[in-house]
């Protein structure tokens, strides 16, 4: 096995299977898998050039007071010593924090589960050329994360989010070929052992019997659809909207795109006069806000 194995990142949208993957990888005795420290989306680039000692101190003060980072039990004095030599990109700082934690736990390799970490693929692979990133993806027409009745325009918002995540998956696969994997939630749920074995091969780690036990205990959403099934709880106009606007990416990731299923005039009218315009506006708003956000600008 390759001795120079870099960190592992598990990303993707909410309810796409990240936790299941992190849990099973965490069962490996040599992997230190943490979750939701939010170092990347909260602190990356926020304090300017942290090569400047004043900025670094501001950054360390913020990180030191963050409850989510506290699980890593950072030793800030040691961090300062290590950062006094060489370049100080944010990625290095975050890596040192994780490494401290992994070493303290007696693990040789660290990993992090973070929603949307795929947006940081460029700085991650620049700092950690041997890193591996697993991007979880799930059929946007299934799952519990977006109930269209919840609020007006929620469906457009969620669809825009899904399309952006799928586009990042395509881009990162092209750029980082052998270091990037896109895993479908549905594949994980239907063939968990094969999927995890493949992931272990990708990570250059051994598949261990302990992982088998963890896999047995993992639960998937009861509505996890088999390929080709749709969420029956969804209204036809909602499905039609996702089918229409996410068709390109659905096809690329082998999700079937069917007919709208709208059978009544009332449904068609609801789609044309309400669902479509409202959710299109919501999609446009999401793209606008994402483009202006600090995190949104990172992905380029």
Partner 1 sequence: MERGPIYVAGLERSGTSLLFALLASHPNIAMTRRTNLWRHFYGQYGDLAEPANLERCLETMRRYKRLVVLDLDYDRLRTDFRTGPPTYAALFASLERQVADRMDKPRWGDKSLHTEHYADEIFEAYPGARILHMIRDPRDRYASSYVRWKTRRGGVGAGTAEWLSSSRLALRNQWRYPDRCRTVRYEALAMEPEVSLREISGFIGEPFAPGMLSMEGATTFRDEGSNSSYGPREPGVISTSSIGRFREVLTPRQVAAIQFLARRDMGSFGYRPEPIRLPAGQRARFALLDLPLELAHLVAWRARERARDRAGRPLPSYRLVEQAA
Q: What residue ranges bind partner 1 (CB under 8 A)?
A: 167, 169-171, 173-174, 177-178, 180-182, 248, 251-254
Q: Report, in Å, the least distance between residue 178 CB and partner 1.
A: 6
Q: Where are the alpha helices (DSSP H) in the chain?
A: 18-26, 39-43, 53-64, 67-70, 76-83, 90-104, 121-127, 154-176, 185-190, 192-203, 209-217, 236-252, 265-270, 276-292, 294-298
* Nearer residue to partner 1 within complex by CB, 47 or 255: 255
- Contact present, 237 and 262 (Cβ < 8 Å): yes
* Nearer residue to partner 1 within complex by CB, 104 or 251: 251
- 193-210 in b/e burial notation, b at 16+ Cβ within 10 A? eebbeebbebbebebeee
* Nearer residue to partner 1 within complex by CB, 50 or 183: 183
Extract the tokens encoding 163. 């399309």
* Nearer residue to partner 1 within complex by CB, 58 or 299: 299
Q: Report, in Å, the least distance between residue 167 CB and partner 1.
A: 7
Q: Report, in Å, the least distance between residue 253 CB and partner 1.
A: 6
Q: Report, in Å, the least distance between residue 101 CB and partner 1.
A: 29
- Strands 109-113, 31-35: pairing is parallel
Q: Report, in Å, the least distance between residue 173 CB and partner 1.
A: 5
* Nearer residue to partner 1 within complex by CB, 117 or 182: 182
């Amino acid at each position: 096995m390759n001795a120079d194995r870099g960190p592992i990142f598990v990303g993707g949208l909410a309810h796409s299977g990240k936790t299941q993957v992190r849990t099973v990888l965490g069962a490996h005795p040599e992997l230190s898998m943490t979750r939701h420290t939010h170092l990347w989306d909260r602190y990356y680039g926020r304090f300017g050039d942290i090569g400047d000692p004043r900025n670094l101190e501001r950054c360390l003060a913020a990180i030191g007071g963050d409850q989510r980072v506290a699980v890593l039990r950072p030793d800030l004095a040691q961090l300062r010593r290590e950062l006094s030599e060489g370049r100080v990109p944010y990625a290095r700082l975050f890596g040192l924090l994780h490494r401290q934690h992994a070493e303290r736990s007696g693990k040789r390799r660290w990993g992090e589960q973070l929603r949307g970490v795929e947006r940081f693929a460029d700085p991650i692979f620049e700092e950690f050329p041997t890193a591996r990133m697993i991007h979880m993806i799930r059929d946007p027409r299934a799952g519990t994360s977006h109930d269209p009745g919840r609020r007006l325009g929620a469906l457009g918002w969620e669809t825009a989010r899904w399309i952006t995540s799928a586009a990042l998956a395509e881009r990162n696969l092209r750029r980082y070929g052998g270091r990037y994997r896109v895993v479908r939630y549905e594949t994980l749920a239907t063939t968990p052992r094969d999927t995890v074995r493949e992931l272990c091969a990708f990570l250059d780690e051994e598949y261990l019997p302990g992982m088998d036990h963890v896999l047995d205990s993992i639960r998937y959403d009861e509505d996890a659809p088999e390929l080709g099934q749709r969420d029956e709880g969804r209204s036809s106009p909602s499905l039609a909207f996702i089918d229409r606007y996410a068709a390109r990416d659905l096809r690329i990731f082998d999700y079937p795109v069917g007919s709208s299923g709208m059978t009544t005039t009332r449904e068609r009218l609801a789609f044309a006069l309400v669902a479509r315009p409202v959710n299109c506006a919501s999609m446009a708003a999401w793209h606008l806000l994402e483009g202006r956000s600090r995190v949104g600008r990172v992905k380029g």
